Chains A and B, each alone.
Chain A
Amino acid sequence: MKIDKNTINKIARLSRIKLDDKESEDYIKDLNSILDWVEQLNEVNTENVEPLSNISSSILPKREDVSNDTNSSEEILENAPDKLEGFFAVPKVVE
């Protein structure tokens, strides 16, 4: 797989990152060399092998269904650039 100008623009848009032409060129080069390196793995025969989704053999820890009733709205909103009566206020999302 090769990363071209279109792909890099798409990735940038999906990540909400603005890139100028110079940066785009740099990232195309970087990402391509990363992909080339990873592609070495294609040499391994993985037929009939399930993808590994976990390298530890531990099992998923679970919690009981208990709710804590602490209201931390002040803490939660502390970093918000804009808020109103307990709500986050964000630029209008038109849907």
Chain B
Amino acid sequence: MNNLIKGEKYDWEMVIGLEIHAQVKSNSKLFSSSSTKFGSSPNSQVSLVDAAMPGMLPVINKYCVEQAVKTGVGLNAKINNYSVFDRKNYFYADLPQGYQISQYKYPIVGEGKVTIDFKDGTSKDIRIVRLHLEQDAGKSLHDQNPSKTYVDLNRSGVALMEIVSEPDIRTPDEAGMYISKIRSILMYLDTCDGNMQEGSLRADVNISVRKPGDEYGTRCEIKNLNSIKFIKQAINYEVKRQIEILESGGSIEQNTMLFNTSTGKTRPMRNKEEAHDYRYFPDPDLLPLEISKEEIGKIKSSIPELPDELKNKFIETYKLSNYDASVLTAEKQTSDYFNETINSDPELKNHAKIVVNWITSELFSLLNKNNQDLNNSPVSPENLGQLIKLISTNEISGKIAKDVLEDMFSSGKTARQIVDEKGLQQVTDQGEIAKVIDEVIEENPKMVEQYLAGKDKLLGFFVGQAMKLTKGKANPKMLNDILKQKLNKKN
């Protein structure tokens, strides 16, 4: 695979690493009992701990620790029995403590890896450096007033898992696939709701460029991207910017950047003199976090089937391609739907590929068009299974099945009902099809002559006419075969 980008003078390789912030799906915050509910009125979920009132002490949420361990297992990572909470010191209006409680030298989860799958059937491992637990900050609104910033501390203190990757990513697409994969794992584990719009999952992207084979270049970090589309846009813009600087003889300054979603451009966030000095040190209010082997074992045994395991199971059981299986398992609701569909009739196991296609192309496009989600699909897995069975037994053609599916989608009727009511059964009677073809040949003598004179393309015309007469119900393969036979006889 050639991932190089052409500059004016040289070819360049991008080197990308991601820091993903995933909000733990918990009822209360990491160190206080305030609610984590999204969208409540400002500062209504702020305890005295979250507001950093003097003398308040943090008490850790056991559930959040378990979710971090669970996620670590899902990332094939080493779980550390001993980890430490540190203070990361900086001044900002949305951080009342003046420091964020995070983990620095001893994170709860160490090295791991996740696999991303490409369309061509190949795959690639992205290594994980670490996962650590930390507090989220509050939210600032900058655009409401020309001279003021408004601060809402509801999010302040909510538990985040920061997942740091090695710089193993080489293209914007890989970055998108990597964050999708992390999101999928988090959602199967149910440790994060994966909602990027609400900010439950967001990423900082580290980018540098180099000539192939060279050492890593100086990187810039783009902060706080909350959609896959923006991540790709930001990378594309930033890479171009860096290449232009380097090719015109300049050098890259290590910087923290912000991405403007309306202009599609990045700009530096802080200038160099203000460079942060976080002065990390162990938080004296918190003892080290120790987790026993037994506790880790208990959490491990509670882990559900993960996308990669399920993918391998689908490949083995149903002989699906790696790519098909990875599309099916990317979201839990899709793999659940597939399982229910294929198990609705014993016959369908032999037609797994058809089942995949009907779910991922036909049903998905209908859902998209109607702005609906698979979770509340008007077509149940059982009903889709019935439709696919009608196709696999040749009772209806694939073309008519598309119309039937649309009908099922809008009317809520079953495939059987619609086919019976509208008389859509496929015509598979040789004699009947032959009769129609005779009619078409008789009515179009000139076309027949041209066809016989070598205009092969006209075959489609005859098929179309015959289909029209049977209202699309003729079995297409039989129609084709008989038509060719009859035309060739004329020769």
Interface contact B51-A76, CB-CB below 8 Å: yes
Known contacts A65-B61, A68-B33, A95-B258; is-contact A73 B149 (Cβ 8 Å): no
Q: Determine whether B303 belongs to the interface, using a CB cutoff of 8 Å to chain A.
A: no
- A14-B275 Cα distance, complex, nearest whole Å: 10
Tell me how far the C-beta of A69 lies from the nearest C-beta in chain B, rounded to whole angstroms.
Answer: 6
**Per-residue B-contact encoding for A65-95, CB less than 8 Å = 1, 0 else:** 1111101110111000010111111111111
- A54-B45 Cα distance, complex, nearest whole Å: 31
Select A60's contact among B28, B140, B289, beta carbons within 8 Å: B289
Known contacts A91-B147, A91-B148; is-contact A73 B44 (Cβ 8 Å): yes
Interface centre among B65, B151, B290 (most CB of A within 10 A): B151
- Residue of A at shortest CB range from B277? A14
Interface contact B34-A67, CB-CB below 8 Å: yes
Segment 28-78 of B: residues with Cβ below 8 Å from A: 28, 33-36, 41-48, 51, 59-65
- Residue of A at shortest CB range from B51? A76
The size class of the interface chain A forms with chain B is: 35 or more
Residues of B with C-beta under 8 A to A66: 27-28, 33
Our count of residue pairs bridging A and B at CB distance below 8 angstroms stands at 126
Tell me how far the C-beta of B292 lies from the nearest C-beta in chain A, rounded to whole angstroms.
Answer: 10
Interface contact A95-B288, CB-CB below 8 Å: no
Residues of B with C-beta under 8 A to A85: 42
Q: Determine whether A59 belongs to the interface, using a CB cutoff of 8 Å to chain B.
A: yes
9-residue interface stretch from B88-96, B230-238, B396-404: B88-96
Residues of A with C-beta under 8 A to B289: 60
Select B288's contact among A53, A62, A63, beta carbons within 8 Å: A53
Residues of A with C-beta under 8 A to B26: 65
Residues of B with C-beta under 8 A to A16: 91
Interface contact B277-A92, CB-CB below 8 Å: no
Q: Determine whether B435 belongs to the interface, using a CB cutoff of 8 Å to chain A.
A: no
Tell me how far the C-beta of B280 lies from the nearest C-beta in chain A, rounded to whole angstroms.
Answer: 12
Q: Determine whether A64 belongs to the interface, using a CB cutoff of 8 Å to chain B.
A: yes
Residues of B with C-beta under 8 A to A61: 59-60
Interface contact A56-B287, CB-CB below 8 Å: yes
Q: Determine whether A58 belongs to the interface, using a CB cutoff of 8 Å to chain B.
A: yes
Interface contact A14-B51, CB-CB below 8 Å: no
Known contacts A53-B282, A67-B33; is-contact A92 B150 (Cβ 8 Å): no
Tell me how far the C-beta of B128 lies from the nearest C-beta in chain A, rounded to whole angstroms.
Answer: 25
Q: Determine whether B186 belongs to the interface, using a CB cutoff of 8 Å to chain A.
A: no
Q: Determine whether B241 belongs to the interface, using a CB cutoff of 8 Å to chain A.
A: no
Tell me how far the C-beta of B402 lies from the nearest C-beta in chain A, rounded to whole angstroms.
Answer: 47
Select B43's contact among A53, A64, A88, A91, beta carbons within 8 Å: A88
- A95-B92 Cα distance, complex, nearest whole Å: 11
Interface contact A63-B33, CB-CB below 8 Å: yes
Interface contact A73-B43, CB-CB below 8 Å: yes
Q: Determine whether B84 belongs to the interface, using a CB cutoff of 8 Å to chain A.
A: yes
Select A69's contact among B35, B270, B287, beta carbons within 8 Å: B35
Tell me how far the C-beta of A34 lies from the nearest C-beta in chain B, rounded to whole angstroms.
Answer: 16
- A14-B279 Cα distance, complex, nearest whole Å: 10
Segment 4-63 of A: residues with Cβ below 8 Å from B: 10, 14, 16, 53-54, 56, 58-63
- A10-B277 Cα distance, complex, nearest whole Å: 10
Interface contact B59-A84, CB-CB below 8 Å: no
Residues of B with C-beta under 8 A to A54: 287-288
- A89-B94 Cα distance, complex, nearest whole Å: 11
Residues of B with C-beta under 8 A to A75: 48
Select A88's contact among B84, B89, B91, B151, beta carbons within 8 Å: B151
Residues of A with C-beta under 8 A to B34: 67-68
Interface contact B149-A90, CB-CB below 8 Å: yes
- A10-B275 Cα distance, complex, nearest whole Å: 11
Known contacts A87-B151, A90-B149; is-contact A67 B286 (Cβ 8 Å): no
- A54-B59 Cα distance, complex, nearest whole Å: 16
Q: Determine whether B142 belongs to the interface, using a CB cutoff of 8 Å to chain A.
A: yes
Residues of A with C-beta under 8 A to B92: 93
Residues of B with C-beta under 8 A to A71: 41, 44-45
Select A63's contact among B41, B61, B89, B270, beta carbons within 8 Å: B61
Interface contact B290-A60, CB-CB below 8 Å: yes
Known contacts A53-B288, A67-B36; is-contact A72 B149 (Cβ 8 Å): no
Residues of A with C-beta under 8 A to B277: 10, 14
Tell me how far the C-beta of B140 lies from the nearest C-beta in chain A, rounded to whole angstroms.
Answer: 6
Interface contact A89-B288, CB-CB below 8 Å: no
Tell me how far the C-beta of B271 lies from the nearest C-beta in chain A, rounded to whole angstroms.
Answer: 12
Q: Would you give 14 A-B contacts (Cβ < 8 Å), ordered by A?
A: A54-B287, A59-B287, A65-B28, A66-B28, A67-B28, A68-B33, A86-B42, A86-B43, A88-B150, A88-B151, A88-B152, A90-B93, A92-B148, A93-B93
* A16-B91, A76-B43 known, 7 other contacts, Cβ within 8 Å: A65-B27, A68-B35, A71-B41, A76-B51, A82-B148, A94-B142, A95-B258
> A residues touching B (Cβ–Cβ < 8 Å)?
10, 14, 16, 53-54, 56, 58-69, 71-73, 75-77, 82, 84-95
Closest CB pairs A-B (n = 10): A65-B63, A87-B150, A67-B28, A62-B62, A86-B42, A88-B151, A60-B287, A67-B35, A73-B43, A67-B27
